[in-house]
Homo-oligomer: A and B are copies of this chain.
Amino acid sequence: MRDVTAVQQLAARARIAARHLAGLTRERKDQALHAMADRLISRQTEIIAANARDVAAATAAGTPTGTVDRLTLTESRVADLGAALRHLAALPDPIGEVTRGWTCPNGLRIREVRVPLGVIGMIYEARPNVTVDAAGLCLKSGNAALLRGSSSALATNEALVAVMREALTDCGIPADAVALVVGDGHDAVGQLMRERGLVDVLIPRGGASLIARIVSESRVPVIETGVGNCHVYVDQQVDLDQAVAIVVNAKAQRPSVCNAAETLLIHAAVIDQAGPVLMSALAAAGVCIHGDERIRPFALAAGARFEPVTDEDWAAEYYSLDLAVGVVDSLTAAIDHIARWGTGHTEAILTTSLPAAEQFIAGVDAAAIMVNASTRFTDGGEFGFGAEIGISTQRLHARGPMGLTELTTSTFIVQGEGHVRA
């Protein structure tokens, strides 16, 4: 365990490295990304051995199988980590992009240019791929990365970060551009949250309680990610075949992620047609229905598991094969329900009615609104961003999937010929 000043020292060194990174050409950054990938592969035996220690400890501690699986590195997974870095190298560099520019009436020429945010602190759980992805995304966007992973992945993260830092040094880039924040969990995270001025932004990725703590305690600006109570609303005018496919996909294709659906709302006018087919399909997918009185007969007739819905269900992000289901008397009632219970992540309407789609788009407030598409599409990869550091559910700075451009800020460059203000 290090004392808290170690975090400050780390952040101060990252800030110096960030100044260096801001001036690197794309060529130099891409070279470093390839060097990091090369070295992850050439040192994979050592990395996998370190990981095996974490996995053994997690298994001995009775960690759930799914968590252990996400923690585990194999040769094939290390190859994937390297491939992700090479993929980043192939993406355009956001730095230096002129996002707008104009000439003022007095002749001053102004342009707004993308520059790095500076030092980015990532706080996340036991997923070694986040260590490599975040380091790569930060490097490509010219930012220094302070990585705070779960202590249960400490040996793995130490090995991964050591190897990436060696690659940076080989390329003449300060190793402090990528650093692991170690030490007692609560203290180290607490210290990171206090380093306003040294750390430019914190991005927490993980459970709701981790994110809530950071949001409420941090003095460093935070980008909230990935809290998703996503709704699918089935309108009275709807293509039922499409609706069945989308509802099942949104709920069951990968229930453990933030863009999976947690609540289904069905217009009362279509319940006699939609109820049987939706409940059958969800029952077949193994979904437990937490439903209101009006959906109950359809759920029971379809042989679905059924529980009466509560306010806790309307608020729940299950991340499991559970779904809150309600029948609403109007599109407005659906919008009001979403306004009350939604978390502003992704909300979907399934309809063939253009006015209904437009009313939903105008009335719902969320990072992403889907029309006749699964909520699962709210994703940097699906959006074509090439890579994603998280999905912002806040309103400031970035909203929705965040790629490389969301890791930048801007500078106004103003050129005159002796201009003074009158």
The residues of A with any CB-CB pair to B shorter than 8 Å are 19, 22-23, 102, 104-105, 108, 110, 112, 115, 117-118, 196, 200-201, 215-216, 219, 221, 223, 239, 241-242, 245-246, 248-250, 253, 339, 361-363, 365-374, 376-378, 382-384, 394-397, 399-401, 409-421
Contact = CB atoms under 8 A, between A and B. Distances in A.
Given A363-B23, A411-B366, A372 B417 contact: yes
Given A102-B384, A104-B383, A104-B384, A400 B420 contact: no
A57 to B, nearest CB: 35
Given A371-B414, A371-B416, 9 more contacts: A115-B365, A117-B395, A242-B417, A361-B413, A371-B413, A372-B416, A372-B418, A376-B421, A377-B419
A249 B421 contact: yes
A421 B253 contact: yes
A371 B22 CA distance: 20
B418 A245 contact: yes
A253 B395 CA distance: 38
A221 B396 contact: yes
9 contacts: A19-B339, A102-B384, A110-B383, A117-B396, A366-B411, A368-B413, A370-B414, A371-B414, A376-B420
A397 B395 CA distance: 9
A193 to B, nearest CB: 11
Nearest to A405: B100
Contacts of A419: 246, 372-374, 377
A421 B365 contact: no
Given A201-B395, A363-B23, A384-B104, A369 B411 contact: yes
A305 to B, nearest CB: 23
A402 to B, nearest CB: 12
In the assembly, how many copies of this chain are there?
Answer: 2
A395 B108 contact: no
A420 B249 contact: yes
A411 B368 contact: yes
Contacts of A253: 420-421
A215 B201 CA distance: 14
Given A339-B19, A384-B102, A409 B418 contact: no
A163 B160 CA distance: 63
The interface centre, meaning the residue of A215, A378, A394 with most chain B CB atoms within 10 A of its CB, is A394
Contacts of A416: 370-374, 377
Contacts of A410: 399-400
Contacts of A374: 416, 419-421
A394 B108 CA distance: 24
A370 B419 CA distance: 10
Contacts of A108: 373, 377, 382
Nearest to A104: B384
A387 to B, nearest CB: 16
A408 to B, nearest CB: 9
A415 B373 contact: yes
B418 A239 contact: yes
Contacts of A110: 383
A248 B418 CA distance: 12
